[in-house]
Amino acid sequence: MAGRVEGKVALVTGGASGLGKAAAAMLAREGARVAITDRNEPGAKEVAGALGEAARAWKLDVTQEADWERVVDEVVATFGRLDVVVNNAGIGVAKDVESLSLEEWRLVHAVNLDGVFLGCKHGIRGMRKCGAKGSIINVSSVAGLVGSENLAAYCSSKGGVRLLTKSVALHCARKGYGIRCNSLHPTFIDTPMVEGFAGMKGDVAEGKARLARMIPLGHIGEPDDIAYAVLYLASDESKLMTGSELVVDGGTTAM
């Protein structure tokens, strides 16, 4: 039985760990060939090595357009096509608007929003180059839907991802490209980023328990909870979805 993304080629940013690593593994398991990209090149190579012949690793700083141009061209040359781009790379700074520096504000937006813009721009270019009817998946956050008092830059950047996604979706639809673009909105997931956030006040386990109490279902998510959502959006099962928000948040935004 063929996998759900059999024959597709996917590029995943931030693929060396966390959500990107889980998404890459899920896509490879379901039949895709995967370009795993990250600033952490050794980490990306380790993930690719574990996935075998279905995966290759590239060093990519998502804030640098020259990197995007090079990597997209090399991925298409290596695999012959590009069908899926998962704009997953992101960072967070847990500070409110008064304590946040301008440099921190700019850094968070450079990675979380500029990086997604460049991924959409060059993802479309790569897909059109090979005639693919593709899917762009932009990883936003519940913090792109509701505010948090101590995540000023993160909320702003992830909210920007949400509306950029809609603009890209409408652009591609009006042009008749056959390329879809949707945003994905996770709650707290058990990743290195969330572990760092949980440990800011001391004990990591207690921090995770505190975060879990903020989620109506009562527990933080696992990386595969988001990887399955990525798989759905990457597959043809979601062919009528574009410009939409897929929320995986344990009920957080229902409150």
Active-site residue list: 154
Tokens read off for 108: 């968070």
Tokens read off for 42: 């050794």
Which position has the token pair 């056959």? Answer: 178
CA angle 81, 41, 72 (to 5 degrees): 25
What 69-73 contacts at long range (C-beta under 8 Å, 24+ apart), as own/partner pairs, is: 69/122, 71/11, 71/35, 71/37, 72/11, 72/122, 72/123, 72/125, 72/126, 73/126
Nearest CA among 2, 1, 13 for reference residue 136: 13
DSSP bridge pairs for 34: 10, 55
Q: Which residues contact 223 (CB under 8 A, 6 or more apart)?
A: 18, 19, 21, 22, 189, 190, 191
Residue 24 CA to residue 134 CA, distance in Å, equals 17
